[in-house]
Amino acid sequence: MGNLKELQEQLTHEYKNVWGEIDEAETKLVMDFSIGYKTFLDVGKTERECALEIQRMAIENGYVDYKSLVEKNEPLKAGTKVYAMNKDKAICLFIIGEESIEKGMNVIGSHIDAPRIDLKPVPLYESSEMAFLKTHYYGGIKKYQWTSTPLALHGVIVTKEGKKVNVVIGEDDNDPVMFITDILPHLAKDQYAKKIGEAIGGEDLNVLIGSIPCGDKDTKDKFKFNVLRLLNEKYNVTEADLVTAELEIVPAGKARDVGLDRGLVAAYGQDDRVCAYSSLIALFEIEAPKKTAVGMFMDKEEVGSQGNTGSQSSFFNDVVAELINLQVDNYSDIYMRRAMGNTKVLSADVGAAYDPNYAGAYEKLNSGYVGKGLQIVKYTGSRGKGGCNDANAEFVAEVRNIFDENQVIWQTGELGKVDQGGGGTIAYLLANQNAEVVDCGVPVLCMHGTYEVISKADLYMAYKGYKAFYKY
Ligand code: MN
Ligand code: MN
């Protein structure tokens, strides 16, 4: 019987909980790693703030703007660190490898946009002696979560004179916050009769921004006027300037620890800044890798990756072409094609963590779990893998070995049970250029909620796994 037990242990596979597998010293590393992470989340609550923070950190870590090398036509040396910023919304970091770029890159791609509520170009109006902002939500939100909670306003306003004004209201403890009202339960009979997805309509997400009038009985729209007056005082802008603005409503407040044991983090926008941060820090700790190591931090994933700051843009290829041009004597398209065909990518995006409160949405055996480490997701998509990138078994095997050789605790995950829903990431975009790509990220509870929850253990294993991949 003893032999059978041994044999069963040999033949059976089970994913382990990270906390039970790491020693005291590593537990401290896990806890410490989350401190910088929470600050990163607090500083970058929009794609612009996050891109600029990544740029600031990159410069601090010895990265230079790739354009300065292009201008000087400076030959690329192994170990050179460059960044490429795209319109202050997406940024790519490169450490040039010992091998030429033509031989392929090791890329980790994440996204730094998150579901939110954007202001319309003509947002401000007054109604019933209050001032409001009209909005159009961005990405997949559950609208009811955004009512009855403190909200902050972030973004930029470009004035007629071409000045770019940065706006942040609602994050400082002394700041006022914005608010979207909900109907009291006593009067919610009609709302209760609706399906939960229809209880709050898109045009109901009107943000309360003022309630004190300015002017006398002859003044028109006194409540709206007062808001404009205050905006002008603080930012020197007018109503017309709001047309040339990108203003975003996000939940106000900072990232917090969850649970008495502090094992989890709750914060807005962890999809996908948890993968952005862990891959960024991993990249900062790499010196002179064999393959060129690349961190992509992209915009517009939550609305399909279109546009010039999304992953469908030619931006990444344009920058890679410039870098190849600094490595070869006569640039030709063939170098670019070889580079992409030889490239290996971790599409670093979050997955849905199994939630026992909503067990019916998951398939237990193939779900990712909070606390069981970095999650490999072979395919995404929905309804028969529609729209998926299905990673090749050979590449998944490579990644598995990299993780195992580097004591990275990992698991696999699938986004919910078959035909329950689904989703996608940026994985297919680089795969379409023939790179090997697999999704690999942190499992999240309450994904796309105003506050999302992740495990510090998974965050740390993501960092550890991404670093091992970059070195490979
Ligand atoms: Mn995502
Ligand atoms: Mn998402």
CA of 379 to the centre of ligand 1 (A): 14
CA of 115 to the centre of ligand 2 (A): 7
CA of 425 to the centre of ligand 2 (A): 8
CA of 273 to the centre of ligand 1 (A): 9
* Nearest-angstrom CA–CA distance, 267 and 257: 9
Instruction: Match 């050979």 to its residue by tokens.
Output: 394
- Lookup: tokens for 268: 């807005």
CA of 312 to the centre of ligand 2 (A): 16
CA of 242 to the centre of ligand 2 (A): 27
CA of 349 to the centre of ligand 1 (A): 5
- pLDDT score of 416: 87
Burial class (CB in 10 A: 0-12, 13-18, 19+), 331: middle
- Domains belonging to the chain, first-starting first, are 9-114+268-471 (3.40.630.10), 116-251 (2.30.250.10)
CA 253 centroid distance within chain: 18
CA of 341 to the centre of ligand 2 (A): 27
151 forms beta bridges with 178, 251
- Lookup: tokens for 397: 């095997």
Strand pairing category for 130-138 and 116-127: antiparallel
CB 320 within 8 A of CB 63: no
Q: Using 50 as the pLDDT threshold, list the residues of the chain that sit under it.
A: none
Ligand nearest to the CA of 274: 1
CB 215 within 8 A of CB 139: no
User: Could you read off the pLDDT of 266-306 as tens digits, one per residue?
Assistant: 999 999 999 999 999 999 999 989 999 999 999 999 999 99
CA of 435 to the centre of ligand 2 (A): 23
CA of 271 to the centre of ligand 1 (A): 5
- pLDDT score of 412: 96
Cβ neighbour number for residue 181 with a 10 Å cutoff = 13
- pLDDT score of 1: 62
- pLDDT score of 387: 87
Ligand nearest to the CA of 140: 2
For every residue of 77-130, DSSP letters joined together read: -TT-EEEEEETTTEEEEEE--SS-GGG-EEEEEEE----EEEEEEEEEEEETTE
CA of 114 to the centre of ligand 1 (A): 8
CA of 12 to the centre of ligand 2 (A): 34
CB 353 within 8 A of CB 445: yes
CA of 301 to the centre of ligand 2 (A): 7
CA of 350 to the centre of ligand 1 (A): 5
CA of 97 to the centre of ligand 1 (A): 28
CA of 116 to the centre of ligand 1 (A): 13
- Lookup: tokens for 201: 């309509």
CA of 301 to the centre of ligand 1 (A): 7
- pLDDT score of 351: 95
CB 250 within 8 A of CB 116: yes
CA of 442 to the centre of ligand 2 (A): 12
130 forms beta bridges with 127
CA dihedral for 312, 318, 320, 324, sign (positive or negative): positive
User: Could you read off the pLDDT of 413-430 as tens digits, one per residue?
Assistant: 998 899 888 888 888 899
CA of 349 to the centre of ligand 2 (A): 8
* Nearest-angstrom CA–CA distance, 116 and 47: 11
* Nearest-angstrom CA–CA distance, 256 and 271: 16
CA of 114 to the centre of ligand 2 (A): 6
Find all residues with CB under 8 Å of 116, minimum gap 6, and list them.
46, 137, 138, 139, 141, 248, 249, 250
The Cα-based distances of 158 to 69, 155, 161, 237, 409 in angstroms read 30, 10, 8, 9, 46
- pLDDT score of 199: 97
- Lookup: tokens for 189: 């009979």
* Nearest-angstrom CA–CA distance, 237 and 28: 48
CA of 305 to the centre of ligand 1 (A): 11
CA of 302 to the centre of ligand 2 (A): 5
Ligand nearest to the CA of 439: 1
DSSP code of 394? H
CA of 446 to the centre of ligand 1 (A): 13
